[in-house]
Amino acid sequence: MQGKPEQAAQDQTNVDEVPAGTPGAGENMCRRCAGTGMIDGRTCPECGGTGKVTTPIGGG
């Protein structure tokens, strides 16, 4: 992977992810692995292989 080391670290993290059970949050398909839980034959580092992430839900 090219670029700055801090950019590489950011590419591996879903900045929108919040802890499970957070009020106003919901389960969504992982964008990094498209919900498969795998990237190039390895467990997706973003969702831990579940294919799902917990993110805030917008609203008022």
In this predicted model, what pLDDT tens digit does every residue of 4-58 receive, in sequence order?
444 444 455 677 787 777 787 888 999 999 999 999 999 999 999 999 998 888 7
47 within a domain of the structure (yes/no)? yes
Classify residue 30: in a domain, yes or no. yes
Residue 37 domain-assigned? Answer: yes
In a domain, 5, yes or no: no
50 domain-assigned: yes
Q: Is residue 6 included in any domain, yes or no?
A: no
Query: Nearest-CA neighbor of 26 among 57, 4, 51, 58?
Result: 57
- Does residue 7 lie in a domain region? no
Predicted local distance difference test score (pLDDT) of residue 18: 79
Full residue range of the structural domain in which residue 45 is found: 17-56
Residue 1 falls inside a structural domain? no
How many independent structural domains does the chain possess?
1
Please give the model's pTM, rounded to 2 decimal places.
0.61
C-alpha–C-alpha distance, residues 59 and 45, integer Å: 29
Cα atoms in the Cβ-side hemisphere of radius 13 Å centred on 45 = 8
